[in-house]
Amino acid sequence: MSVQLAVAILTKNEARHIGECIATLGFADEVVLSDSYSDDGTAEIARAAGATILQRPFDNFAGQRNASLQAINAEWVFFVDADERITPELAAEVRRVIAERSEAGWWVPRHNFIAGHQVRHGGFYPDYQLRLLRRDRARYDPARPVHEVVLLDGPAGYLQNPMIHYNYASWPQFHAKQRRYAEIEGRMLRERGVKPWPHKFVRQPLREFWRRYVTLGGYRDGWVGLKLGALLAFYYGFMPHWYLLRGK
């Protein structure tokens, strides 16, 4: 008999988070770790906590998630990151909707914590993620290797209870990850034949700052909202085109 609900976690050196994450997943019938050969004890901690371990060299996020969907034998797959925590209220809601509703997938809201600050505006809440999926009716778009997109065969609903996301423990961690994302985005722009026009180095950052700080209300988070608006304008608006220009 197939498992009704499996939680899948993509990992690479997540020993700091994985134990606490799995401790919140008791509502699942199975926890599966899709590990990219961690060397910090991540897989050992997860195995001791009762998780099934699958190991696969990392290519990109869409590829890793599609491989998990293919390997797991469950009607439903709930993708959870190692730095996320599932509350008892969300766990109960997940079990209820997969038992009672016909949707092919569910969007899950998130509370985001950045360098110790809960960020409530600027696009960081409700920050819906399409993570709860009927396994045979979902796959990830291979053309989107980062900030991956689900291709869902059927309608999706929206859950009410948020998961907790400790996405950046410090500002240096934030900078390192955003630089990596910007380089990937620059590579995607080049593959699509986009040209590094000079005006984009000005317009794109200004547009992103306005969107984050004004349209999405980042100003309501005080100095943290201002800092995030400026940094994301730089990393989302400027840096991808800089990497495109440099040919990286």
Instruction: Dump pLDDT digits (tens) for 125-164.
Output: 999 999 999 999 999 999 887 778 999 999 999 999 999 9
User: Is the link from the previous residue into 126 a cis peptide, with omega within 30 of 0?
Assistant: yes
Question: 136 Cβ partners below 8 Å, 6+ apart?
Answer: none
Cβ–Cβ under 8 Å, residues 132 and 69: no
Query: What total of structural domains would you count in the chain?
Result: 2
User: What is the domain extent for residue 185?
Assistant: 171-246
Residues 45 and 146 in one domain: yes
Residues 131 and 219 in one domain: no
Residues 152 and 217 in one domain: no
pLDDT recorded at residue 36: 96
Mean pLDDT of the 180-203 span: 84
State which of 144, 167, 190 marks the end of a domain. 167
Residues 35 and 131 in one domain: yes
Q: State the SS3 of 89-142.
A: HHHHHHHHHHHHCCCCEEEECEEEEECCEEECCCCCCCCCEEEEEEHHHEEECC
State which of 167, 189, 217 marks the end of a domain. 167
- Percent of the chain exceeding pLDDT 90 equals 80
- Tell me: pLDDT of 2 over 60: no
pLDDT recorded at residue 248: 57
Residues 14 and 82 in one domain: yes
pLDDT recorded at residue 244: 84
Residues 119 and 235 in one domain: no
CA distances from 111 to 37, 72, 97, 144, 248 (A): 29, 28, 21, 24, 33
Mean pLDDT of the 108-126 span: 96
Given the DSSP bridges, would you call strands 74-79 and 129-134 parallel, antiparallel or unpaired?
antiparallel
Residues 56 and 149 in one domain: yes
pLDDT class of 1 with cuts at 50, 70, 90: very low
- Tell me: pLDDT of 116 over 80: yes
- Which of 7-11, 164-168, 200-204 is least confident? 200-204
- Which of 5-9, 132-136, 163-167, 193-197 is least confident? 193-197
pLDDT recorded at residue 3: 63
Compute the distance between CA of residue 22 and CA of residue 31 in angstroms, rounded to an integer.
Answer: 8
pLDDT recorded at residue 197: 80
State which of 148, 167, 186 marks the end of a domain. 167
Residues 142 and 84 in one domain: yes
Residues 195 and 154 in one domain: no
Q: Report residue 9 CA to chain centroid gap.
A: 11
Where residue 142 sits, what CATH number does that domain have? 3.90.550.10
Mean pLDDT of the 191-216 span: 89
